[in-house]
Structure 1
Amino acid sequence: MPPLPEPLLLSPDGRFAVVQSQPWMAEALEAIQEASFPTLSREERMTREHYLAHMRIFPEGQHAVVERATGKVVACSTDFRTRVDFHHYLHRYLEAVAGNWLTRHDPEGDWLYGADIGVLPEYRGQGLSKLLYQARQNLVRRLGLKGHVAGSMPKGYHRYAQAMPIEEYVHRVVREELVDPVLSIQLKRGYRVYGILPDYLEDPSCGNYGVFVVWRNPEVGW
């Protein structure tokens, strides 16, 4: 294993470090994607080649979590810079991420867009997604951006789809009456729901819906 770059963040117990993703990690990042989104359509999953392209286009926006004792890459996130028209926020995932190649990255964009986040199943429940969201928000602050946006996958919706529309499900998750494995985590990290994204992606776990979530940088006026 090549030497790791300087850690951007450490977990409270020191076991894990967030670093900028490196080319030698690409296969491990693809494996994390496969394990994190087993029901996502094949064309919407990121591959080794996609991750390598991301590192060339916007290296600062690519984060990996490494287990320090073993050097194993166990979690990751992908972000790019963009501009957001909140009056016309409806979009599809593949359009936003340019078919997962991130060629719509705007070096002058004033928002960070969260394209991907995943944790290996055997490493979940250890606060690794929290570390990645912290790293993303730190990047927003460092670049002086307005905030961070993402199309959240409400992956628990399939259990309730026959009983309620997506709007009610999201409302109940926001009110903490229901727990969603993705959206609830983002809400705890300070994100707020802006709207529903129909046909955001192709995944039965969320009924193909996305939830447009926004975290605003408290250090920047809007």
Structure 2
Amino acid sequence: MTATFADRPVLAAREDGRYVVVQARAEDAPALEAVQRACFPDLSEEEIATARHFLSHQAHFPEGQLAVLDTQTGRLVASSSDFRMRVDFAHYAHSYLEETGDNLFTTHDPGGDWLYGADIGVHPDVRGQSIATLLYGARHSLIRRLNLKGHVAGAMPKGYCQVADQMPIEQYVLSVIRGERRDPVLSVQLGRGYGVWGIIPDYLEDESCGNYGVFIVWRNADYREEG
């Protein structure tokens, strides 16, 4: 029997049951926007995901829209947003708004063999409680269930702003890969098995990462060629 919380199927849960991952619904849209704004105060207003955007995500690819609920309070405290796409690794550079169809996921390809990680955010009030780990686990489970090749995303190197006047982005990312420096976002993703494919200039407007994105890749070891 599938576990449920508040009549919603539970896709993943922390060991103690405090936090559960569910598929996002239309009624979650305002809370999803609130989490987004709390997580990304430096993003431009054009790039922030609002309730309107989250509703569009759900319309195009409901399976890829995840939310984390606090079972003690019922509060929505985190989310992730993904869609399917085909990846041309020889031409990976893109802007966030271009790749996501102005953050509406109109670029979702039902036949795409990769999952694109458009967004993940954990409200600052509840960080450090393994909530992001739950979301990544649920994303990877979805990839395996759909038999996709893996997960790609434009990671935000949010620590780069602290040293941008001292080194180019390439040197910064290499130092993070080597473990010589820790980035609050990229280091965590590398620790989850993602690899760096390349650097994307003008990925988005965010001073904390110098507007750069880092194209990262997680490959599904269970992927099976079909047909």
Deviation at 1:220, TM superposition (A): 1.6
- After superposition, the CA RMSD in angstroms is 1.2
CA distance in structure 2 between the partners assigned to 1:33 and 1:87 by the alignment:
31
Name the count of aligned residue pairs.
221
Match of 2:148 among 145, 150, 164: 145
For the Cα contact (< 8 Å) 2:147–2:224, is it kept in 1? Answer: no
Match of 2:14 among 6, 11, 15: 11
Q: Secondary structure at the match of 2:54?
A: helix
Match of 2:32 among 26, 29, 33: 29
2:220 matched to 1:192?
no
5+ long unaligned stretches in structure 1: none
Match of 2:108 among 97, 105, 108: 105
For the Cα contact (< 8 Å) 1:77–1:117, is it kept in 2? Answer: yes
CA distance in structure 2 between the partners assigned to 1:122 and 1:148 by the alignment:
27
2:91 matched to 1:82?
no
Residue 197 of structure 1 aligns with an amino acid whose one-letter code is I
The runs of 4+ residues in structure 1 deviating greater than 2 Å are none
| Percent identity over paired residues | 59
Deviations along 1:138-194, one digit per CA (max 9) or x if unpaired, are 110000000000000001110010111111111111111111111111111110000
CA distance in structure 1 between the partners assigned to 2:137 and 2:7 by the alignment:
20
Q: Secondary structure at the match of 1:173?
A: helix
Deviation at 1:117, TM superposition (A): 0.5
- Match in the other structure for 1:181: 184
Deviations along 1:35-62, one digit per CA (max 9) or x if unpaired, are 1110111100000011011111100000
TM-score normalised by L of structure 2 = 0.95
Deviation at 1:3, TM superposition (A): 2.9
Residue 148 of structure 2 aligns with an amino acid whose one-letter code is L
Match of 1:219 among 207, 217, 222: 222
CA distance in structure 1 between the partners assigned to 2:224 and 2:65 by the alignment:
26
Deviation at 1:221, TM superposition (A): 5.5
Deviations along 1:124-144, one digit per CA (max 9) or x if unpaired, are 011111111111111100000
5+ long unaligned stretches in structure 2: none
2:121 matched to 1:118?
yes
For the Cα contact (< 8 Å) 1:91–1:200, is it kept in 2? Answer: yes
